[in-house]
Amino acid sequence: MMFDRIFEKDVAITGVGQSAVGRPVARSGMRLTLDACLEAIADAGLKRADIDGVACWPGDNNNGDAFSPVGPNALIGTLGLQVNWYGGGYEGPGPLAGIINGAMAIASGLCRHVLVFRTITEASRRKVDKNASALTNKTIGRDSSFFWQWYTPFNVLSAINLMALYTQRHFHEYGTTPEQLAQIALTCRTNAALNPKAIYRTPLSLDDYFASRMISTPLRMLDCDVHCDASTAIILSRADVAKDGPNPPIRLEAIGAALHQPWSWDQIDLTATAARDVGEMMWARTDLKPKDVGSAQLYDGFSILTMIWLEALGLCPRGESGRFVEGGHRIARDGQLPINTNGGQLSGGRTHGLGYVHEACSQLWGRAGERQIAPHHVSVVAAGGGPLGGSVLLVRD
């Protein structure tokens, strides 16, 4: 991949915010959103009137779904914003699509400050209906969706079945073991113990991991992230005006958003997925190298995805993620590549994408409290699974 223009270098993160994270939180999806967004705007030293763009993935699906109960449409009026551009919608390179779209809006001259947010209320919803997120409930009657109709007839009723297929194939091709995979869940739990907002903070042992219920072989309950209610917001600013804010700007050094394979859960490279294309694109847009990365916040909606991202981003060789994470010391807070330092989604809560960006910035700004790791300047964030994937390389100069 060759690129003539690296637009994201004109964009920086200037503020972050996050609501309470809980299981559940006794606040509406809109109230959570406002908590996150107002905190982020203030953190960036801005006022509501300064925000001239709004981005969200996936946005409101027009169904009030707990997966994304609040989109840009509802937020703009509620918060009294006057925007030059806004965008949501599901079809994009995964949970970081809002960041990527917002950065494009700034780089193309539409906006100076874009508010990116992501709200999720799955914990509240599941108090009412524990099968709320089963795929059979995504469409009424026969499945006409491009997304799922090739899977639901075979009772693939959760994404975990597809992730399990990737995992089993990874085990088969590379000799990855369940003990190695368990290190993702164990590392996240260890990190979560130091994060006051994390959902699960009690220590976890390898025995606990193997005692957890099998959901879809070889993936267990503890390989799945934990539903929560939360909203996270990020302020993107044009690089020249970002310097005026109270926080040292965190530059978007490079983004990855490529998909050079079919948009499909089973027609793609089963052990590298779209993440492979995303990683190649991101590194083609920067002179930095994987060895420059000081921390990595890697999607762990299911533990195997963190392993896939480690390989796809070149943080370890392809097929070697099992051996890389073995014993957990390399990926620990004091290891050579700390990952998911807030507990990830496995223990921190399924904030679904922007939580990783929030954590990366907190670490780069040195304000992660008890869980702060050694000072560093470069962090990579990647999110998504299967055909969905996006990444962003963040630099605090």
Partner 1 sequence: MTRKLPLLTEDNTPFWQGGAQGRLLIHHCADCTRLFHPPAPICPHCGSFEVAPRAVSGKGKVLSYTINHQAWRPDLIEPYVVAIVELAEQAGLRFVTNIVGLPAEAVHIDMPVRVRFEQHEDVWLPLFEKDA
Q: Give the footprint of partner 1 on this chain (CB under 8 A).
A: 131, 134-136, 141-144, 149-158, 160-162, 164-169, 172, 213-219, 262, 264-267, 270
What region does 88 belong to: left with phi over 0, alpha with psi -120 to 50, or beta? beta
- And the tokens for 187? 């590392």
> What's the min distance (Å) between Cβ of 146 and partner 1?
9
Contact present, 393 and 380 (Cβ < 8 Å):
yes
Q: Which is nearer to partner 1, 156 or 199 (CB)?
A: 156
At 223 the three-state DSSP class reads helix
Q: Report CA-CA distances (Å) from 325 to 263, 303, 336, 376.
A: 29, 12, 11, 21
- What is the rounded distance in angstroms from the CA atom of residue 90 to the CA atom of residue 114? 18
Q: Which is nearer to partner 1, 84 or 149 (CB)?
A: 149
Q: Which is nearer to partner 1, 104 or 215 (CB)?
A: 215
At 18 the three-state DSSP class reads strand
> What's the min distance (Å) between Cβ of 277 and partner 1?
16
Q: Which is nearer to partner 1, 132 or 239 (CB)?
A: 132
> What's the min distance (Å) between Cβ of 132 and partner 1?
11
> What's the min distance (Å) between Cβ of 126 and partner 1?
13
> What's the min distance (Å) between Cβ of 271 and partner 1?
9
- Four-point Cα dihedral 342, 345, 349, 350, nearest 10: 140
- And the tokens for 326? 């073995």
Contact present, 382 and 313 (Cβ < 8 Å):
yes
Q: Which is nearer to partner 1, 180 or 271 (CB)?
A: 271
Q: Which is nearer to partner 1, 5 or 142 (CB)?
A: 142
Contact present, 319 and 161 (Cβ < 8 Å):
no
> What's the min distance (Å) between Cβ of 215 and partner 1?
5
> What's the min distance (Å) between Cβ of 196 and partner 1?
31
Q: Which is nearer to partner 1, 267 or 336 (CB)?
A: 267
Contact present, 221 and 212 (Cβ < 8 Å):
yes
Helix (H) or strand (E) holding 10: none
